[in-house]
Copies of this chain bind each other. A is one copy, B any other.
Amino acid sequence: MEYFSVNAERFLSDLHSLRGFGKCGNGVQRRAFSEADIAARDWLAGRMSAAGLKTQIDPVGNVFGLTDGASLLLGSHSDTQPEGGWLDGALGVIAALEVARASAEQDGPPISVVSFQDEEGKFGALTGSSIWSGKLSLQEADKIISADGARFADERAKLGDRISGFVEPARFTGFLEMHIEQGPVLDEAQEAIGVVTSIVGLRQLQITVEGQQNHAGTTPMASRRDAFMAAAHFAVLLEDRFANVVTPRTVWTIGHVRVEPNAPSIVPGRAIFTLQWRDPDFDRLERIEKVIVETLRDAATETGCTFRSERLRKDLVPMPMDTRLEKACAEAAEKVAPGRWRRMPSGALHDASNVSALMPVGMLFVPSINGISHSFEEDTAEEDLVTGLNVLAEAAMRLSRPA
């Protein structure tokens, strides 16, 4: 085994340097293609060069630090939400940098680094890795207009002569991404590491309840078909029925709700809401949908309203991690933090989901204090950051052993 050891102090120092780009209170504003984002990518390219890696910025802003020849790829993304936390993807990028640097310094195995662009979805979701993985063509992407009116083609043109070609994926033997959990599971269990088993699948329906709009004073209760009350009944009934099909890893959410005409003295004639569910298991996503369909039918019978469901967003299938990479992560976790780690699915999407189309992928989580992310309050204990770094390094070493 080729052994090397990482430098925790240097890792934390780089992590705080990156935080300086777009810093705002305890958080960061580093939206993809903002001045702060591009400056951070330039800084990152400089740190990669200093670590002996060959830097390459591809046409969409993904920054690579490459070894010569074949290597493992480590990384995540360095762009943030409009009001983002300081760790999020930045942690995985800087941990990757330190592991690659330490390995290069100590004649360890070849390790390359990446920071993907626009994971946070100014132009959709996971834009940089979507294009690199071939899921989204550059031509299509160029036409995308962001919520604030920017065209992707114009935004990426800001990169100017930094840009060279796309990196050939075949040069990488696998991809490891470390990320904050963004949920409360590890923090509540006081565990240090999550070894991701899969990125959950996601389905979403928009449900329209049609009742009868009426005067709230003159329409007797028995004559009403109240769309809001029908939606409330559906939600409570669904929760009850889900008890038989969900696991502790299933989540479901009614997040967007609109009532029409939405006036205190008018019986609601229409209610429109989203119903989203996520699960690591494809069959369970399917079984949950069957329960939803049955419950829609029964709620219609019970309430006298009609329920219509539409699929306005594409299903995402669950993406299992590669067995070998997951095993390396689990062994590394047990070595560095014995008994203080668990296997768990990722409830959020990550670049690893796209990269899995190109090569075997694995993921590690560190705890999020109180489960908070996408917020200036997002944080992780320094000790846990360093544990994450050591587990990532250990996993990379294990994956670089000759088979």
Task: Tell me, yes or no, whether A35 is within 8 Å of chain B by CB.
Answer: no
Q: A255-B264, A255-B266 are in contact. Are A183 and B215 (CB under 8 A)?
A: yes
A:308-351 near B, CB below 8 Å: 313, 346-349
Task: Tell me, yes or no, whether A295 is within 8 Å of chain B by CB.
Answer: no
Set B202, B218, B374: member contacting A182, Cβ < 8 A: B218
Q: Are A371 and B232 in contact (CB under 8 A)?
A: no
Task: Tell me, yes or no, whether A149 is within 8 Å of chain B by CB.
Answer: no
Q: Are B265 and A255 in contact (CB under 8 A)?
A: yes
Of A170-178, A243-251, A388-396, which binds chain B? A243-251
Q: A248-B222, A276-B216, A371-B214 are in contact. Are A255 and B267 (CB under 8 A)?
A: yes
CA distance A267 to B183 in the complex (A): 12
Q: A232-B232, A232-B236, A239-B229 are in contact. Are A216 and B251 (CB under 8 A)?
A: yes
- State the oligomeric state as a number of copies: 2
CA distance A182 to B215 in the complex (A): 8
A:234-278 near B, CB below 8 Å: 235-236, 239, 246, 248-257, 259, 262-268, 274, 276, 278
Closest to A182 in B: B218
Number of A residues contacting the other chain (C-beta, 8 Å)?
58
A-B pairs with beta carbons under 8 Å apart, 8 shown: A183-B223, A200-B217, A202-B217, A217-B278, A226-B254, A231-B232, A264-B313, A265-B276
Q: State the 4 A-B residue pairs at the shortest beta-carbon distance, nearest first.
A: A183-B218, A217-B347, A232-B232, A216-B253
Given A215-B347, A215-B371, A231-B232, 20 more A-B residue pairs with CB atoms under 8 Å apart are A181-B218, A183-B217, A204-B264, A215-B348, A215-B373, A215-B374, A216-B251, A217-B348, A218-B373, A221-B248, A221-B250, A228-B235, A228-B254, A236-B236, A253-B267, A255-B266, A256-B264, A257-B257, A257-B259, A264-B276
